[in-house]
Amino acid sequence: MKATYRQHSSGSCSYGGTVGIGVGGTSGFNAEIQCLPTNDRIAAAVSIEPSKANAGTQASKSEVDVSDMRPDFIEVAKSDDGRVYYLIIEPEMVKIQLPKAFTVDDLSPFDWDFPQSPVVLNDNIYVGRIGMGGGSLIGVTIAGVADLEFSLREIKNSEPIGTLQSGRLSIKYGDDQIVISGVRNGANKTNLEGPYKVWVRSTDADVTGEEYKRQMAEQVKAIQEMKDKGDVTITDDIIKQFKSFVNDNRPMLIGSSSREVQDRDLVK
């Protein structure tokens, strides 16, 4: 008995249409499925034609009713090693989307996308990468430096201390300069030429001192556990880099988040 499953080919058809699929080899066959144009049920006419090399399968025609929205399995052929070939008829309800008026919102102009964008502090301190997309309000936490939220929309308790130009976001926060590169925006994920103002606010949760060291150590422990569990994206070099942040007491990106700007966030 075989304990494996393999999908050879697939296709789909709609009301009144026809689709054909086939399997090669000594157990090969061709199947034609016609979606019957009936209003009171969901059914298909199925024709099976074995290949010339398949002497163990007979040609056949049948009708399958799947009005109960459950898949129907038709045994078609068997190979010498015991493998059984099934034709699976699976119904699906497709909702027709009616045309709607195009709006600027469809472009998601305020959404951010960070494809593993590097974050650099004060021109020479690499603190990590941001890899996420979607959302018009972004949160970034750099331990020992700042816990910030920013948006292209004017949000409460914020200042326009950020600039987005040609996919490069620069934020001047106190005595520090935070630069995030490779930034994309909108539904089409493009680099905005700008320059555009970026509104930035502090969440009043800046992490410093002993709390900073504790969080850094926990971060190293967490990524080591992820690597031990088989996360191939975490290499020994990454572990080494994180440990160097802790040992040298260097700033490090320890969190990022994204969500949509809510009415309560906006300056009226």
Cis peptide before 50 (omega within 30 of 0): no
pLDDT for 183: 97
Candidate from 52-66, 144-158, 168-182, 240-254 with smallest mean pLDDT: 240-254
Report which of residues 248 and 28 the model is more confident about. 28
Query: What are the residues whose beta carbons fall under 8 Å from the beta carbon of 222, sequence distance 6 or more?
Result: none
CB-count exposure of residue 180 (10 Å: 0-12, 13-18, 19+): buried
Q: Is the separation of the CB atoms in 29 and 86 below 8 Å?
A: no
**How do residues 206-248 score in pLDDT, each as one tens digit?**
555 566 667 677 777 887 888 888 877 777 877 777 777 777 7
**Pick the residue with more confidence: 3 or 236?**
236
Q: According to the model, what pLDDT value does residue 114 have?
A: 96
Q: How confident is the model at residue 1 (pLDDT cuts 50, 70, 90)?
A: very low
- CA distance linking residue 178 with residue 83, whole number of Å: 61
Whole-prediction pTM: 0.59
pLDDT recorded at residue 206:
54
Per the prediction, the chain carries an average pLDDT of 86
Share above pLDDT 90 across residues of the chain, in percent, rounded to a whole number:
38
User: What confidence tens digit (pLDDT) does each residue in 87-140 have?
Assistant: 888 888 777 788 989 999 889 999 999 999 999 999 988 888 899 988 999 999
pLDDT at 268: 77
Residue 205, pLDDT score: 59
Residue 2 pLDDT level (bands cut at 50, 70, 90): very low
DSSP string, 111-131: -EEEEEEEEEETTTEEEEEEE
The whole-number pLDDT of residue 39 equals: 77
Q: Count other Cβ atoms within 10 Å, centred on residue 112.
A: 27
Q: Identify the pLDDT of residue 3.
A: 53
67 pLDDT higher than 80: yes
**Which has the minimum average pLDDT: 52-61, 97-106, 247-256?**
247-256
**pLDDT in the model for residue 185:** 96
User: Which residue is listed with tokens 């690499």?
Assistant: 126
Degrees to nearest 5, angle at CA 117 with 244 and 184: 170
Residue 212 has a pLDDT of 65
- State the pLDDT at residue 22: 84
Look up residue 131 and give its amino acid: G
